[in-house]
A and B are shown apart, each in its own frame.
Chain A
Amino acid sequence: AQSVTQLDSHVSVSEGTPVLLRCNYSSSYSPSLFWYVQHPNKGLQLLLKYTSAATLVKGINGFEAEFKKSETSFHLTKPSAHMSDAAEYFCVVSSQEISGGGADGLTFGKGTHLIIQP
């Protein structure tokens, strides 16, 4: 079984200040972890992924996340927020167990709504 908890439903920051979106996970197996972003009326876009390689993962648009096994966390950060970062962010976990034709279904957190103040 696997689960994801996004600790904040809403985060508000000023443009140019750092962003921190928090995520804790639970997985019976060595997990793959992802952050996806969803802009209004758009599909989900992959920001970055962790798949048991480097624990500090760099993604698109200046985002990065650090996998901390001891804390079962995978927090998303960005040094300087931009207005275009306003969106819904989802932390996602998938077990690495091979099953069927591919990996298991993804388990999503409930999302964090990121608001950027001008």
Chain B
Amino acid sequence: DAGVTQSPTHLIKTRGQQVTLRCSPKSGHDTVSWYQQALGQGPQFIFQYYEEEERQRGNFPDRFSGHQFPNYSSELNVNALLLGDSALYLCASVTSGRYTEAFFGQGTRLTVV
């Protein structure tokens, strides 16, 4: 059983550019969340998608947007990249329900230069 898969693993972009990161959830999971982990920090919640809609959002600007597809996979888009957007971006998937047991992908390391 494949777990959560993310692509690409590494990415280098220039300030002002746009980037799209991709996530395939664990089999049987229908809810996807995205997290940003800056160097030396704990992951911070960006947003969560369920039934192709954004359901919860953390304290991130509108430059961060996402999408969920009918097969439950998800994309994270970041526009007008800033140097401060450099981080490890983690995708987590869960089965909708009362308790959270999130399975995480290995992340995409984004470097903005």
Contacts and interface: CB of A to CB of B under 8 A. Distances in A.
Contact of A100 (B45, B48, B98, B99): B48
Interface size class of A (residues with CB under 8 A): 20 to 34
A103 B30 contact: no
Interface size class of B (residues with CB under 8 A): 20 to 34
Interface string B47-62: 1101100011010000
B107 interface: yes
Contacts of A36: 104
Interface in B63-106: 90, 92, 94-106
A112 to B, nearest CB: 10
Interface in A78-118: 90, 94, 96, 98-111
A101 B55 contact: yes
Contact of A110 (B42, B55, B92): B42
A105 B104 contact: no
